[in-house]
Amino acid sequence: QVQLVQSGAEVKKPGASVKVSCRASGYTFTGYYMHWVRQAPGQGLEWMGWINPTSGGTNYAQKFQGRVTMTRETSTSTAYMDLSSLRSDDTAVYYCARDPIVGAIGGHFDYWGQGTLVTVPS
Amino acid sequence: QSALTQPASVSGSPGQSITISCTGTSGDVGSYNLVSWYQQHPGKAPKLLIWEVSKRPSGVSNRFSGSKSGNTASLRISGLQAEDEADYYCCSYAGSSTFEFGRGTKLTVL
């Protein structure tokens, strides 16, 4: 069965960086784009960007450009999301989510990781 | 990019039907049939309910249906059940391979 397992909670100081991992299993990792979505406490979902696990190509929401880097390691079927220059308003649960269209962007997300809480104290 | 507009809250009694709207612009909802809907219970990851405006993944109840007219997409839930109480989010393609979510709607089953 498809599973996305994310790394554990993090507490970071303002200005630092955080790297969240998402290990995929149960399907061919390189066949499906991976998106990252975050959710601040009590707030809605916010799309951050995607990575093509085959080519490593990425596309980010304008809001995060210059601060976010999405990478992958195909040998371990793991996607990574690195967010730098952290601020208190980056405190959120970060999710990875699979796009179910083979080799393309379908624009919906069928499997989600369990979420990783990143806390940036003010 | 700005979030799609959803009502903050809706409510209904068991057995009734409700509709949640998701209003965008001609640059997102109005131009593409890549609208999806998600259900999120507290402390849980979102769950896909509808994709490409009206398609339902296997395993999702047919009580959930989606539609679109102009710049507004809608999610209809019929035969409300207690377990439908949750937050609901729409998501749309917004051009340039980017996506955006709605602000979310809290559904209360009375």
A44 touches chain B (CB under 8 A): yes
Indicate which of A22, A47, A105 best probes the interface with B, i.e. most B CBs within 10 Å of its own CB.
A47
The whole-number pLDDT of residue B107 equals 98
Chain B hits for A37, CB-CB cut-off 8 Å, are 46, 101
pLDDT confidence of residue B1: 58
> Which chain B residue lies closest to A49 (C-alpha atoms)?
B98
- Position A72 pLDDT exceeds 80: yes
Q: What is the mean pLDDT of residues A57-72?
A: 97
State the average pLDDT for chain B: 96
What are the angstrom distances between the C-alpha of A112 and each of A35, A70, B16, B87, B95? 9, 16, 30, 16, 23
Interchain proximity B46–A112, CB inside 8 Å = yes
Interface check A32 vs B, CB under 8 A: no
Contact by Cβ (8 Å): B12, B109: yes
CA B5, CA B11: separation in Å to the nearest integer?
Answer: 17
pLDDT tens per residue across span B2-38: 789 999 999 999 999 999 999 999 999 999 999 999 9
- Compute CA distances B2 → A63, B77, B91, whole Å: 10, 26, 12
Residues from chain A contacting residue B99 (CB–CB below 8 Å): 35, 47, 107
Please give the distance of CA A75 from its chain centroid, rounded to a whole number. Answer: 18
Contact B102 A44 (CB under 8 A): yes
Kindly indicate the confidence band of residue A105, based on its pLDDT and cuts at 50, 70 and 90. Answer: confident
How far CA A52 is from CA of A23, A35, A90, A101, in Å, comes to 15, 9, 24, 12
pLDDT tens-digit map of A39-61: 999 999 999 999 999 999 999 99
Interface check for A2 against chain B (CB to CB < 8 A): the answer is: no
Task: Give the pairing type, strands B99-101 and B86-93.
Answer: antiparallel
A95, closest residue in chain B (CA to CA): B45
Contacts of B103 in chain A (CB under 8 A): 44
Interface test with B, best of A34, A63, A109 (most B CBs within 10 A): A109
